Amino acid sequence: MFIDAMGLILADNKKITLGELSKPRALAAVPFGGRYRIIDYMLSDMVNSGIKSVGILTLNKYKSLMDHLGTGASWDLDRKNFGLHILPPYVNSESMGVDDADEMAGLLNFIRSNRSAYVIIANSNMILNTTFNDFVDKHEQSGADVSVMYNRDGIKYGVPNYIFEIDRKGYVKDMLFNPEKTVSNRCSLGIAVLRRELLIDLIADMIARGERNFGVHVLTKKFDTLHIRAHEYKGLVLRINNVQSYFNWTGMPIYTKVKDEAPALYLENSSVSNSILSDGCRIMGTVENSMLFRGVTVSRNSKIKNCVIMQDVHISENCELENVILDKNAVIRPGIKLVGHKDYPVVIGKGAIV
């Protein structure tokens, strides 16, 4: 499991918004899969690869993310050497506000202070359970400047997507953003690896040229000056979309912040089918085709169908919810009926009382 690499996770993605859910928090901190936040996957993938130094680049709304990550102890990243670093925008006396150039200056310092040979940069909208050892080895053998991961089922998840065109040797020769006509089905996973020194040079150069954006696809756009190798990933990937099929994955463990909730209790009169539930839930009503996060209460005679219900939501008696996403700490008063459409679910914001 030895790997000579550090990780860099981009916690925000300006091209992706999840409405009410990403309003109060960074994309990476959006609750996912009953007991996780989206970032748990990429972070666990890195830790399971043997990476011991991870930087999390944030733009704004990072309070929720910081609460979740804490010292990094849940991922064994609370270390004297390296470990977890949250990199909020670097504001100094010369820069007035928060912009990406400052972000890049902070990033440059972080990468310079490391000593790994490689850096794995990843966006945080991909849910996959993998390790990066093979990815880094293949990159090293290939002699390419940058390797970038793609798979072939990305288009069905809709926009935003970056499509690669590659030459016969497997190098990127063109990259298109949300193309109208599909020229290729090679859809970027937003995960790249390159030598740390090269990344330092690239970022320094970008700062010098006054470029304000940094990201995986900002690097891969430089395909005419860099040798960028496209690496196909064949495992299962979810692009922040449906939340079902991953449960049966027999992969490496996915770590997350532990909440020390009591076990879930199913009381008399409860009826549950095809659902994922978490610790701390108390179920007295009916739950069908739904995902319940930690600490959710469903009271007597209430019926939940096709819902995603985040942590500590309280649903009172005699409620009926269908196709609803309820964010953290929401309270549904007795007798409320909420029905959304399958393709357009009702989203109730964090802490709302309905």
Sign of the Cα pseudo-torsion (144, 147, 151, 157, in order): negative
Mode of pairing for the β-strands spanning 172-177 and 228-232 = unpaired
Task: State the number of binding residues for other proteins (CB under 8 A).
Answer: 33
Q: Which residue in 35, 75, 1, 22 sits closest to 246, CA to CA?
A: 35
Q: What angle do CA 154, 145, 227 make, to 5 degrees?
A: 70
For position 34 contacting other proteins by CB under 8 A, the verdict is yes
* Part of the chain binding other proteins (CB under 8 A), chosen from 20-28, 80-88, 158-166, 254-262: 254-262
What torsion do the CA atoms of 246, 328, 28, 155 make, to the nearest 10 degrees? 50
Minimal distance, residue 103 CB to other proteins, in Å = 32
Residue of 247, 334, 337, 351 that binds other proteins (CB under 8 A): 247
Token output for 317: 């008696």
Name which of 172 and 309 has its Cβ closer to other proteins. Answer: 309
Distances in Å between the Cα of 88 and the Cα atoms of 10, 57, 73, 155, 185 are 11, 6, 19, 32, 35
For position 223 contacting other proteins by CB under 8 A, the verdict is no
Name which of 224 and 268 has its Cβ closer to other proteins. Answer: 268
Name residues contacting other proteins, limited to 62-101 (CB under 8 A). 73
Structure letter (DSSP) for residue 127: B
For position 270 contacting other proteins by CB under 8 A, the verdict is yes
Name which of 55 and 72 has its Cβ closer to other proteins. Answer: 72
User: What is the SS3 assignment for 87?
Assistant: strand
Residue of 124, 275, 286, 302 that binds other proteins (CB under 8 A): 275
For position 41 contacting other proteins by CB under 8 A, the verdict is no
For position 260 contacting other proteins by CB under 8 A, the verdict is yes
137, burial (CB in 10 Å: exposed 0-12, middle 13-18, buried 19+): exposed
Residue of 254, 307, 325, 326 that binds other proteins (CB under 8 A): 254
For position 282 contacting other proteins by CB under 8 A, the verdict is yes
Residue of 107, 226, 277, 309 that binds other proteins (CB under 8 A): 277
Name which of 64 and 286 has its Cβ closer to other proteins. Answer: 286
Token output for 224: 């005419």
Neighbours of 295 (CB within 10 A): 21
For position 285 contacting other proteins by CB under 8 A, the verdict is no
Minimal distance, residue 253 CB to other proteins, in Å = 4
Neighbours of 249 (CB within 10 A): 12
For position 35 contacting other proteins by CB under 8 A, the verdict is yes
Cβ–Cβ < 8 Å for 309, 292 = yes
Cβ–Cβ < 8 Å for 51, 119 = no
Q: How far apart are the first and last CA of the chain?
A: 49
Distances in Å between the Cα of 338 and the Cα atoms of 271, 277, 321 are 20, 21, 5
d(CA 70, CA 65): 8
* Part of the chain binding other proteins (CB under 8 A), chosen from 22-30, 166-174, 206-214, 263-271: 263-271
* Part of the chain binding other proteins (CB under 8 A), chosen from 188-196, 226-234, 279-287, 326-334: 279-287
For position 300 contacting other proteins by CB under 8 A, the verdict is no
d(CA 50, CA 28): 21
For position 18 contacting other proteins by CB under 8 A, the verdict is no
For position 304 contacting other proteins by CB under 8 A, the verdict is no
Name which of 50 and 251 has its Cβ closer to other proteins. Answer: 251
Minimal distance, residue 320 CB to other proteins, in Å = 20
For position 236 contacting other proteins by CB under 8 A, the verdict is no
User: Which residues lie near other proteins (CB under 8 A)?
Assistant: 33-35, 73, 247, 253-255, 258, 260, 262-268, 270-280, 282, 287, 291-293
